[in-house]
Structure 1
């Protein structure tokens, strides 16, 4: 049975409204069987450094710990890859059977500028 967990710093800092939205998304997507590891989009934004922020709910449906050590992630909109970056995030480990929200930051030089970034899909290769 898939469980929702928040990384410790998220658990302390997340706004009630955001927590409720993530819990709702988890309940809507926890039974999907798209693949062993998949990401449900939460939001996209461009920050003050012009980095693309992609917040997703990462579902780990495997029987192994998911770590982000030299993991390549692609962000696509309507099948077109617009962001591509290799991430190493020691703080992000997702146990088997757990879904966890996270924001992946694509620096300005790692994505193609777009008019809008909504309705994209983050893929872990």
Structure 2
């Protein structure tokens, strides 16, 4: 079964066309056949919000045969192989089916972010 791209319903309604195009283009560029990990994060963009929190938007790729949920799941924000933020995420409304990719934004509270973070070319990884 090929990997499919799915948008969470609230995202599907609110996503600007230019972001949707970028997400679809990025999804098409991912080599879905070579991953050795069952779950990966493909970076899209990152920003700080008005509270100083870090928003990291990625495509979550669930290559496994099982659905993916987040319940106090630790995720790292990394730059240059250094962990600069860790947070435990619970996404009550999000379940990613098997063989499905979905865009999502992870928000790291300001108190969890290292002062050394440049917010440039960061990636997410499992903690």
TM range (shorter): over 0.9
CA root-mean-square deviation? 1.2
Structure 1 residue 69: Cα displacement? 0.5
Separation in 2 of the partners of 1:108 and 1:20? 30
Instruction: After the TM superposition, list the runs of 4 or more consecutive aligned residues in structure 1 that deviate by more than 6 angstroms.
Output: none
Indicate conservation of the 8 Å contact 2:43/2:57, yes or no. Answer: yes
Equivalent pair of 2:85/2:108 in contact (CA under 8 Å): yes
| SS of residue in 2 equivalent to 1:118 | coil
Give the drift of 1:124: 2.5
User: Which residue of the partner structure matches residue 24 of structure 1?
Assistant: 25
Stretches of structure 2 that go unaligned for 5 or more consecutive residues are none
Q: d(CA) in 2 for partners of 1:13 and 1:4? A: 17
Structure 1 unaligned segments of length 5 or more: list them: none
Contact 2:84 2:117 in 1 (8 A): no
Which TM-score applies when normalising by structure 1? Answer: 0.95
Contact 1:26 1:57 (C-alpha < 8 Å) held by counterparts: yes
Q: What are the superposed Cα offsets for residues 43-90 of structure 1, whole Å, 9 maximum, x if unpaired?
A: 110100110000000000000010001100001101000010111111
Alpha-carbon shift at residue 116 of structure 1 (Å): 2.5
| Structure 1 counterpart SS, 2:76 | strand
**Deviation of residue 30 (structure 1)?**
4.6
Structure with more of its chain in strand, by fraction:
1
Matches for 1:44-55 after TM superposition, within 5 Å: 44-55=46-57
Query: What's the secondary structure of 1:112's corresponding residue?
Result: coil
Provide, for residues 66-115 of structure 1, a one-character-per-residue CA deviation record: whole Å limited to 9, x for no partner.
00011000011010000101111111210000000000000110111346
How many residue pairs align between the two structures? 125
2-structure distance, mates of 1:3, 1:54: 21
**8 Å Cα contact 2:38/2:62 also seen in 1:** yes
